[in-house]
Structure 1
Amino acid sequence: MADSLRAFLDRLDDPERSLVVHNRSSPEAARNLLEDLLDNQPVPVHESFDPDEEVVEEDVVLLVEDGRVLARSTMDELLSAVLLVNSDLYTTGGRSLSEVELPEVLERLDDVPFHVRGYPESNKEKLLLITISRVIERTAAEASSGTLRSSFQRLSRIEDERGTRAVYETVGSRGVDVHVYGIPDRDLEGKLPVTVHGGTAEEYRRSWFVVYTPDDPTTERNEHVGLLALEDEPNVWDGFWTYRDDLVRDLDAYIRRAL
């Protein structure tokens, strides 16, 4: 039984995966944007490899592990979904929950440990975790059931960020059992269809999690999925996301018990 959120970081499979920009026809700047997104992460970006299968598509990005292609997405998909996106789209509500997409090659980076810096040190690194958070929230909204647990460090962020408030109004109104966690610097009781958990201990102040456990995991797009990141120093986070049922259930159980 885990005795802290940090203990879950030790349970990662930590697979050795890389991205390959194959038959590139897009400008060099597009590849540079992909490298910037994954700067300082354990996911190198290459332009050549010897695949186990023939890949004929042009301007496609492949996710590769041990010479096997696990997933593929076009460079255009990456540009429109993430690489040309500013995180303000999510906080202001410029991109609705139904519009949130994550290309397959990025979605399949589950169980990879990430070390990300926020602005101003980096304009892009944190965006991947922000997008994954929205994908998890969209999964809960589409299922219209199950339990979603999310932390915000400061509960006032839910009201101050128009896009975030809209997301939690949507998810909570669709029959999902929503729980939010953070420092109680704003009274949210009765203002949103969520259960509020306030506290000032370190795991309230320095954790970022979005954890969804379904009522029926056999339903399409109704899977266990969770993100966890811990702030080791101001605006610097170590984290991961996972689709492992056992890990997500254990993470949900720890949050329910300890927070």
Structure 2
Amino acid sequence: MAGDVPPSLRAFFAEADAPNRSLALVNRKEPEAVQRLLESAFAGQSVSVAERQFPEEGDDVVLVIEDTDVVATSPLDEVMNAFLLVNSDLYKTGTSGLEDGGAPSVLTALADVVFDLRGYPASNKEKLLLILMSRYIERLALSSGGGRLRSTFQRLSRIEDERGTREVYRKLAESGVDVHVYGQPGWRPDESLDLTVHTGTSDDYRHSWCVAYTPQGGDGTYAALVAVETAPNEWRGMWTYDRDRVTRVDRYLDERL
């Protein structure tokens, strides 16, 4: 129900109401292996992938099709450079996605779709979707220079251990964004890092992956990623820009963690 905080993070998945969406690789000139990479990245998900020929479109374009309407477009090379041809180390060791072009539109447009995603070595690409969208929401917060960001890390020490994550949250702490970080105890930021730290050992602390941004004064883009670890290195997750849903994710993290 609108405004209510659900009993668990998993309950947000039951609310997912995404329309039927598919990805189309249009007028491909790149090798067939690229098409196979895109298909394998979404294998087993509700988002299907097909190769199409559309004379009115340019070459090597990826589309999101909702029913029969095109709702997002990205050049294939953008999808390759941000997703298909990289691994998570690009984001863990650097600030990719924060200072460059960010996540491709065809990926950010897959809002309110529930994904079941595996990390390495089971999959090289699936979990990268969550990393990309986390960085996208962090970038949104940083570009606004205000508002509130809540992020769960399972282990707070990841902020220190992952050079890219540390740099992203240093920039956020200096930006005027009210940043709250959540995780199991064992690490505290030094005084120069203006973060509000929340620690605990409950299931949500140990097995959640959330990034929720609420803009200052309610003006701007609301965005949240919610993911729950369902087995070792396997995640069920989604992202949303629905204002009510993001507000409720923010409230859940504030009240339950």
2:232 paired residue number: 234
Decide whether the 8 Å contact of 1:100 with 1:131 is kept in 2: no
| Aligned positions of 1:66-105 closer than 5 A | 66-93=67-94, 95=96, 97-99=98-100, 101-105=102-106
* Matched position secondary structure for 2:57: coil
* Matched position secondary structure for 2:139: helix
1:57 paired residue number: 58
- The total of aligned residue pairs comes to 253
1:199 paired residue number: 200
Unaligned runs of 5+ in 2: none
Moved over 3 A (4+): none
Structure-2 separation of matches of 1:207 and 1:118? 15
> In the TM superposition, what whole-angstrom CA distance separates every residue of 1:98-155 from its partner, at most 9, and x where no partner exists?
1251111111000011100011111110011101100100111110100000000011
2:52 paired residue number: 48
Q: Which amino acid aligns with 1:86?
A: N
* Matched position secondary structure for 1:47: strand
TM-score using structure 2 length? 0.94
1:216 Cα shift? 4.0
Q: 2:41 aligned with 1:32, yes or no?
A: no
Q: 2:4 aligned with 1:4, yes or no?
A: no
| Aligned positions of 1:106-125 closer than 5 A | 106-125=107-126
Q: Which amino acid aligns with 1:225?
A: A
Q: Which amino acid aligns with 2:249?
A: L
1:38 Cα shift? 1.4
* Matched position secondary structure for 1:178: strand
Structure-2 separation of matches of 1:83 and 1:238? 20
Identity among equivalent positions (%) equals 51
1:170 Cα shift? 0.3
Decide whether the 8 Å contact of 2:145 with 2:175 is kept in 1: yes
1:72 Cα shift? 1.2
Structure-1 separation of matches of 2:230 and 2:192? 32
Structure-1 separation of matches of 2:218 and 2:65? 27
Partner residue of 1:255 out of 249, 253, 256: 253
* Matched position secondary structure for 2:216: coil
* Matched position secondary structure for 2:189: coil
Decide whether the 8 Å contact of 1:155 with 1:184 is kept in 2: yes
Structure-2 separation of matches of 1:3 and 1:212? 21
Structure-1 separation of matches of 2:252 and 2:95? 34
Structure-1 separation of matches of 2:101 and 2:9? 27
1:190 Cα shift? 2.8
> In the TM superposition, what whole-angstrom CA distance separates every residue of 1:16-61 from its partner, at most 9, and x where no partner exists?
1101111111110111121122122111111138x8xx73322211
Structure-2 separation of matches of 1:17 and 1:190? 46
1:189 Cα shift? 5.7
